[in-house]
Amino acid sequence: MTHSLTHSQASDTFNKDESRVDWHDESLWFIRQKRDKAAFAIPEWEELRESASQIKENVLANMDTYLLEFEQKAQKNGIHVHWATDAAEHNTLVLEIMQKHNFKKIVKSKSMLTEECHLNPFLEKNGIEVIDTDLGERIVQLRNEPPSHIVLPAIHLKKQDVGDTFHEYLGTEKGASDPQYLTEAARQHLRGKFIAADLAITGVNFAIAETGGFVVCTNEGNADMGAHLAKVHIACMGFEKIIPKIENLGIFLRLLARSATGQPITTYSSHFQKPRAGQEMHIIIVDNGRSTQLGRADFRNSLKCIRCGACMNTCPVYRRSGGHSYHNAVAGPIGIILAPNLDMKQNNDLPFASTLCGSCTNVCPVKINIHEQIWKWRQIVTQEGYAGFEKTQGIKLMNTVLSKPKVYRFVGKMGREIMRFAPFAVNNSLNKWFKNREMPDAPKESFREWYMKQKM
């Protein structure tokens, strides 16, 4: 997918409405605080994170074995298992299942994988109706936008925006913006879609090797409404969703919702093991670049991610730039380290959309070293020549200045003099550090100059 704006350009647009940015920032920070409250109430929280991390590292090293065990058990349970090397193959598999049954209508619960594969436009092009049934996803689908957050797809919208959209598409009263009223309208609208659907697609939160079953977590109940009514259920999973044992679920379900929204558990944690009588169940195991990422020693543990979104809620850049500015299905810090693997050229701007403050790493329930990986991607993007002229030249100049003490002292002195006597030379729009900030007062002398004086 091509995108027209870089992260910083899109953030500029997002930042034009200052009060709205503040609101976005505060909404997400509020969720971060709820996460803290939930986490701090569990004395063994850090041990849970450590165990989750170990389980996921064990998975990375035994990925093929666990996938094969899962396939064998799932088939024994009567589930059809498919493998797709890339997005196109995944999408074709879904279409073929639809065509085999001569089906036209799909209800889909949240699946970031199908966003990554751009499944909806592909199916629509082939004459199939796909309805996203998660409320947030339905809202953005009606607005023809991608989700801006992996857990809270419509977090960038105000209730008035949703009211306008529902008025246009669902016939709610003009100007109505009460969340209760709007949610009820969506419930009625989507009940009709659940009843009429031929096939249901769900994502997969965890696939368990030892049973061949998989777990899907929602708060709304939309995955279950779809899957238990439709004649055919397809569950789509990136292969990294595999875990070895049932007992591992105890760890992950304790961490997931608390990290995501501060809830003790999602309302529904559904364990699908076998199709119901008369139903057909499929699982599509997707690679789409994951096996390449597995081979990158510095980045492979991004595949430990359980998609809770905690890194996004805490990120000072995400909170003030919005999910859409990342032009990738997964935004925020975790998106930054996943996207360059999919397309380094298209996503060369993302590793720079970070302050490297490390807050993402601190909240990650599976202990991914997110900020370190962002820093490493910066180096690779630059080495590969994708960093752009301005950044490359800037770094070269910095290198000259910082590696030669005399040059450094001279430039430092020049800088101080300019800031003191000709502040307009730095306090202007050419200086990106001046944007939304006042420049600090320049000191009269450097630390070195001061220190030399003290010695005398």
Partner 1 sequence: MTKMTSREQILAKIRVNKPSEKVVLPTNLDWENTAFDDNIQRSASQRFAEVLKSIGGEAIEAADFDFIKKEIDTIHYHHVINLLPNLEIQGKDIREISDAHDLASVDLAIIEGKMGVAENGAIWLDESCFGGHRVLPFITQHLIIVLKKENIVSNMHKAYKRIQSDLFSIGFGLFLAGPSKTADIEQSLVIGAHGARSLRVYLV
- Please report, as residue ranges, which positions from 282 to 341 form the binding site for partner 1 (by CB under 8 A): 285, 287, 291-292, 294-295, 297, 300
Print the binding letters for residues 350-389 with partner 1: x by CB under 8 A, - otherwise: ----------------------------------------
Task: Please state the closest distance from residue 449 (CB atom) to partner 1, in A.
Answer: 51
Q: Which is nearer to partner 1, 273 or 346 (CB)?
A: 273
Spatial distance between the Cα atoms of 371 and 380, rounded to a whole number of angstroms? 14
Here the tokens at position 366 are 């599976």
Residues 174-233 within binding reach of partner 1 (CB under 8 A): 179-180, 182-184, 186-187, 190-191, 194-195, 208, 211, 213, 219-222, 224-225, 228-229
Q: Which is nearer to partner 1, 7 or 241 (CB)?
A: 241
Listed ranges 10-18, 266-274, 360-368, 431-439: which one lies at the site for partner 1 (CB under 8 A): 266-274
The binder of partner 1 chosen from 6, 10, 11, 31 (CB under 8 A): 31
Here the tokens at position 353 are 């959309």
Listed ranges 151-159, 376-384, 401-409, 441-449: which one lies at the site for partner 1 (CB under 8 A): 151-159
Three-class SS state of 12: helix
- Complete DSSP assignment for 262-302: S-SS-SEEEEE-SPPTT-EEEEEEE-TTHHHHHT-TTTGGG
Spatial distance between the Cα atoms of 299 and 377, rounded to a whole number of angstroms? 9
Q: Which is nearer to partner 1, 44 or 445 (CB)?
A: 44
Spatial distance between the Cα atoms of 416 and 23, rounded to a whole number of angstroms? 37
The binder of partner 1 chosen from 121, 171, 264, 394 (CB under 8 A): 264
Q: Are strands 105-108 and 199-202 parallel, antiparallel or unpaired?
A: parallel
Spatial distance between the Cα atoms of 122 and 6, rounded to a whole number of angstroms? 25
Three-class SS state of 132: strand
Task: Please state the closest distance from residue 139 (CB atom) to partner 1, in A.
Answer: 7
Listed ranges 260-268, 358-366, 387-395, 410-418: which one lies at the site for partner 1 (CB under 8 A): 260-268
In degrees rounded to 5, what are phi and psi of residue 67?
A: -65, -40
237, 206 in Cβ contact below 8 A? no
Determine if 167 is a binding residue for partner 1 (CB under 8 A).
no
Q: What's the maximum distance between 2 C-alpha atoms anywhere in the chain? A: 92
Determine if 92 is a binding residue for partner 1 (CB under 8 A).
no
57, 301 in Cβ contact below 8 A? yes
The binder of partner 1 chosen from 17, 22, 44, 96 (CB under 8 A): 44
Here the tokens at position 313 are 């809620």
Listed ranges 80-88, 381-389, 399-407, 432-440: which one lies at the site for partner 1 (CB under 8 A): 80-88
Listed ranges 134-142, 308-316, 366-374, 438-446: which one lies at the site for partner 1 (CB under 8 A): 134-142
Task: Please state the closest distance from residue 254 (CB atom) to partner 1, in A.
Answer: 5
Residue 168 CB neighbour total at 10 angstroms: 12
Q: Which is nearer to partner 1, 133 or 347 (CB)?
A: 133
Task: Please state the closest distance from residue 276 (CB atom) to partner 1, in A.
Answer: 6
Listed ranges 168-176, 241-249, 342-350, 407-415: which one lies at the site for partner 1 (CB under 8 A): 241-249
Residues 102-131 within binding reach of partner 1 (CB under 8 A): none
Nearest to 328 by CA among 304, 308, 310, 312: 312
The count of chain residues that interact with partner 1, using the rule CB under 8 A, is: 95
Q: Which is nearer to partner 1, 212 or 335 (CB)?
A: 212
Q: Which is nearer to partner 1, 133 or 348 (CB)?
A: 133
| In the block, residue with structure tokens 């009588």 | 277
The binder of partner 1 chosen from 11, 111, 114, 133 (CB under 8 A): 133
357, 334 in Cβ contact below 8 A? no
| In the block, residue with structure tokens 């800037």 | 394
Residues 388-417 within binding reach of partner 1 (CB under 8 A): none
The binder of partner 1 chosen from 100, 125, 245, 404 (CB under 8 A): 245
Determine if 134 is a binding residue for partner 1 (CB under 8 A).
yes
Residues 48-67 within binding reach of partner 1 (CB under 8 A): 50-51, 54-55, 57-58, 60-64, 67
108, 218 in Cβ contact below 8 A? no
What's the CA angle centered on 201, arms 195 and 204, to 5 degrees?
A: 130
What's the CA angle centered on 27, arms 12 and 223, to 5 degrees?
A: 105
Compute CA distances 385 → 326, 382, 390, whole Å: 20, 5, 12
Determine if 72 is a binding residue for partner 1 (CB under 8 A).
no
Q: Are strands 206-208 and 213-218 parallel, antiparallel or unpaired?
A: antiparallel
